[in-house]
Amino acid sequence: MRSSLLAAATVLAFAGTLTAASTDAQAAVCADGVVRAGCVGARGAVVVRKPAVVVPKPVVVCRTVVVNGVRVRRCT
């Protein structure tokens, strides 16, 4: 009898702690795509467009050299 009362008191104390200590969950999910990136949370969503990628052009250097007495333009 005494052990069952002790077990019941323990269960009630544990249940009371869970009820008093509950908080709101703040979950957010983010994704990173090829064109856009975005996050979704409890208060809404945000989407951001990624800037265009600028591909640098290769640098071409031309030089004039003399090959067998003839001026030749060589570009690398």
Query: Residue 36: inside a domain, yes or no?
Result: yes
Query: Residue 29: inside a domain, yes or no?
Result: yes
Distance CA 71, CA 64 (A): 6
pLDDT tens digits, 11-69: 777 766 656 555 555 677 888 887 788 888 878 888 888 888 888 888 999 999 999 99
Per-residue pLDDT band at 72 (split at 50, 70, 90): very high
User: Which residues face 29 on adjacent strands?
Assistant: 40
User: Which residues face 37 on adjacent strands?
Assistant: 32, 48
Res 33: pLDDT: 81
Q: What is the domain count for the chain?
A: 1
Query: Residue 47: inside a domain, yes or no?
Result: yes
Distance CA 27, CA 24 (A): 9
Query: Residue 6: inside a domain, yes or no?
Result: no
Query: Residue 62: inside a domain, yes or no?
Result: yes
More confident residue, 73 or 27: 73
Query: Residue 44: inside a domain, yes or no?
Result: yes
Q: Which domain holds residue 33?
A: 24-76
Res 61: pLDDT: 93
Query: Residue 70: inside a domain, yes or no?
Result: yes
Contact by Cβ (8 Å): 72, 65: yes
pLDDT tens digits, 26-42: 677 888 887 788 888 87
